[in-house]
Amino acid sequence: MSEEQLSSLRKPIPILRDEEDKDGAGGEGGGEESLKPKKHVSFNRVVECFTYSENLTSWKRRLMPDNDLIVTFFALLASTYGAVTPLGLEPQLPPGGRIVGGIATSIEQHPWQVSVQRSGAHFCGGSIISNNIIVTAAHCLVSPSTASNLRIRAGSHNRIYGGVLIQVAAIKIHEGYNTKTLVNDIGVMRLQSKLTFGSTIKAIAMASLTPSHGAAASISGWGKTAYDGSSSSTLLYVDTKIVGRSQCASSTYGYGSSVMATMICAAAANKDACKGDSGGPLVSGGQLVGIVSWGRECALANFPGVYANVAELRSWVLQAQNTV
């Protein structure tokens, strides 16, 4: 392997925090229509996860056609050269979802929270900002996600049953979303029918100002309860604290320049968002301040959770909700 090829793998690669194997229709934990365990990730997905996939294409031809061996090879290679292991190179886990260090909560305490489901399976979270618009992460809406295979469940603390299940009519991803750097990791969905607001279904206001470093915040979702753990069918939440972008990109933490414009961080000891929480809300002062985006593993010391900064992206959302 040439030095140029090795150098291409040394750049930290963020782990997306959606639940699903992108080559499959189902997500961990499933839903009404799909409760089957995930299969191992395909090699095509591994190639997509690497920042420099073109270097890997030729390697694919020289490797044995065994997906498990391929996944193990690149996971070890990423670890050896200090890369952040991309989602898809991690060993595949039993069905599950999670908030790390979370506490069970009621939907009445988080009535803006929705489960985003693809082909009947939960794989991301989202937040209600109007009676027919949901905001989520852009990486939750890229292929193979389409409006026709997406639905949201609102008004229930359980991602499998209860509340209302509504078909998505249209989706829109931020035009500046970058799949390599994850800047502008935000998108919106328009629902086919309007939500009826009540104690379990409410819109949340989007922040117009970025919260200060150290501000109290909370995260909610159905994602994994540990990096190598399983999911909860019941909504969980954790209290955390905002880590400003400049602080998050400083030598105090391990991300460096990977934390870029339109991002904000949050951290608390042994508490974090994880796989399955992508697109879900980071709330501070009763406002939506962040969208779960990426991180290194989950609740790993020196590596805060990274979120799309809603205050910086608010104007785009306001325009997108009128054009989606």
Q: Which residues are catalytic?
A: 139, 185, 278
Residue (of 142, 118, 285, 295) closest to 218 by Cα position:
285
Residue (of 276, 249, 268) closest to 136 by Cα position:
276
Report which DSSP code applies to 210.
P
Angle at 95 between CA 89 and CA 101, to 5 degrees: 85
CB-based contact 128:116 (threshold 8 Å): no
User: How is 258-316 classified by DSSP, letter by letter?
Assistant: GS-TTEEEEEBTTBEE-TT-TT-EEEETTEEEEEEEEESTTT-TT--EEEEEHHHHHHH
Beta strands 287-295; 236-243: pairing state? unpaired
CB-based contact 250:296 (threshold 8 Å): no
Q: Give, for 241, the enclosing helix (H) or strand (E).
A: strand 236-243
CB-based contact 108:199 (threshold 8 Å): yes
Q: Phi and psi dihedrals of 113, rounded to 5? A: -75, 135
Q: Can you tell me the distance from the alpha carbon of 308 to that of 298, in angstroms, rounded to the nearest whole number?
A: 17
Respond yes or no on whether the N-terminal peptide bond of residue 95 is cis (omega within 30° of 0): no
